[in-house]
């Protein structure tokens, strides 16, 4: 188990990470999520031993303060893979096991096993300079896993890839991490990637961990409005929960997980859907997305504490600016903030 205990990293007297504490249980994937510049990479680097820090990084209770990077037993993957260009694919993956003194025959078997795991069976003799971006990242992952690290540290491993490849590789990565039973810290600024890959989330903002917990719990109940907005909430209104039901200006939704009482309601765009019944408003803007239409709707006449809101329509709805629509509350996009 990894324990990060009140870690602070300071550059030129300015703390980039402040008092960060977190734990990752064996076999668990934790996503460290936060906006650009929030300190994610810095914290990952401090855990790896690449950055001087105060506080403690422990593995199974042992303080790693005096342990250099290559003796921590951690595997690292960065955004651009950083493969050894003068070695072929097998040479890259076999590097760690070779350093560990694994005999050649066992190394070959380990390389083949890992290539199979990342979906590149038979790629041993390929030059890394001839690989596509997605293939190179798979090789980087295989190389990091080859010495059987006790912790895998992934720093934005998919962000150099185009959107479609990212999505498919994220799904593959879920399977790879599960099969390898890899304890993993994943740094990302992409909430979808975090939700796809992680068991738990830690949200970092301005160097501080604002919230950590089970992915679904954080999604449903962000700690404050800032975390909520970072996690996709675009509309905030007041509401009341009673008997597992939320009542707000946009209607009623089942929230069996929420505590009763007055609440701040966070709505993601898909919490408000264009439908035949619901709160009326006028479409101000429309933007087509891959599988839905995003609309901005002026509801100022019906909802006093919201002027315009983001909502979604299906492509088939064919809504246009100036049109009158109705918005129905969808519990799937509702968060209770705070």
Ligand X SMILES: Nc1ncnc2c1ncn2[C@@H]1O[C@H](COP(=O)(O)OP(=O)(O)OP(=O)(O)O)[C@@H](O)[C@H]1O
For residue 189, the minimal CB distance to ligand X (Å) is 5
Q: Give the nearer residue to ligand X in terms of CB position, either 48 or 311.
A: 48
Q: Give the nearer residue to ligand X in terms of CB position, either 153 or 180.
A: 153
**168: nearest Cα among 204, 139, 192, 140:** 192
For residue 96, the minimal CB distance to ligand X (Å) is 25
- Our CA dihedral for 264, 338, 201, 160, rounded to 10 degrees, sits at 50
For residue 190, the minimal CB distance to ligand X (Å) is 10
Q: Give the nearer residue to ligand X in terms of CB position, either 24 or 120.
A: 24
Q: Give the tokens for residue 231.
A: 């996690």
Task: Tell me the three state secondary structure of residue 146.
Answer: coil
Q: Give the nearer residue to ligand X in terms of CB position, either 39 or 147.
A: 39
Query: d(Cα 229, Cα 241) in Å, to the nearest integer?
Result: 21
* Structural contact between residues 79 and 133, judged by C-beta atoms closer than 8 angstroms: no
Q: Give the nearer residue to ligand X in terms of CB position, either 36 or 276.
A: 36
Residues that bind ligand X (CB under 6 A): 11, 16, 34, 36-42, 189
For residue 114, the minimal CB distance to ligand X (Å) is 27
171: exposed, middle or buried (C-beta count within 10 Å: 0-12, 13-18, 19+)? Answer: exposed
Q: Give the nearer residue to ligand X in terms of CB position, either 42 or 184.
A: 42
Which residue is it, tokens 């919201």? 306
Task: Tell me the three state secondary structure of residue 331.
Answer: helix
Query: d(Cα 183, Cα 196) in Å, to the nearest integer?
Result: 16
For residue 19, the minimal CB distance to ligand X (Å) is 15
For residue 46, the minimal CB distance to ligand X (Å) is 9
Q: Where are the beta strands (DSSP E) in the chain?
A: 2-11, 14-24, 29-33, 54-59, 62-63, 74-77, 151-155, 184-188, 200-205, 208-214, 235-242, 245-248, 251-254, 261-267, 272-275, 279-288, 293-298, 308-313, 324-329, 334-337
Q: Give the nearer residue to ligand X in terms of CB position, either 110 or 189.
A: 189
For residue 192, the minimal CB distance to ligand X (Å) is 15
């Amino acid at each position: 188990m990894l324990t990060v205990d009140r870690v602070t990293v300071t550059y030129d007297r300015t703390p980039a990470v402040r008092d960060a504490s977190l734990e990752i249980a064996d076999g668990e994937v934790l996503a460290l999520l936060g906006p650009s510049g929030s300190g994610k990479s810095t914290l990952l680097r401090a855990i790896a031993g690449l950055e001087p820090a105060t506080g403690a990084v422990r593995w199974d209770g042992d303080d790693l303060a005096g342990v250099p990077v290559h003796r921590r037993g951690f595997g690292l993957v960065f955004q651009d893979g950083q493969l050894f260009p003068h070695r072929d694919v097998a040479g890259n993956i076999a590097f760690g096991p070779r350093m560990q003194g694994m005999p050649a025959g066992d190394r070959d078997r380990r390389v083949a096993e890992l290539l199979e795991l990342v979906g590149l069976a038979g790629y041993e003799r390929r030059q890394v300079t001839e690989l596509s971006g997605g293939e190179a990242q798979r090789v980087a992952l295989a190389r990091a896993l080859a010495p059987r690290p006790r912790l895998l540290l992934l720093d934005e491993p998919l962000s150099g890839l185009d959107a479609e490849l990212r999505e498919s590789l994220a799904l593959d990565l879920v399977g790879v991490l599960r099969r390898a039973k890899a304890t993993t810290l994943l740094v990302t600024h992409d909430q979808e990637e975090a939700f796809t890959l992680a068991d738990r989330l830690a949200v970092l903002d301005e160097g501080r961990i604002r919230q950590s917990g089970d992915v679904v719990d954080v999604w449903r109940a962000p700690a404050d409005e800032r975390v909520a907005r970072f996690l996709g909430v675009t509309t905030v209104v007041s509401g009341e929960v009673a008997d597992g039901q939320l009542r707000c200006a946009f209607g009623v939704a089942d929230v069996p997980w929420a505590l009763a009482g007055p609440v701040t309601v966070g709505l993601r765009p898909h919490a408000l859907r264009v439908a035949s019944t619901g709160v009326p408003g006028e479409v101000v803007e429309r933007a087509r997305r891959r599988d839905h239409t995003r609309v901005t709707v002026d509801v100022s006449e019906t909802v006093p504490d919201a002027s315009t809101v983001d909502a979604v329509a299906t492509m088939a709805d064919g809504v246009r600016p100036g049109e009158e629509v109705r918005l129905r509350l969808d519990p799937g996009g509702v968060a209770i903030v705070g």
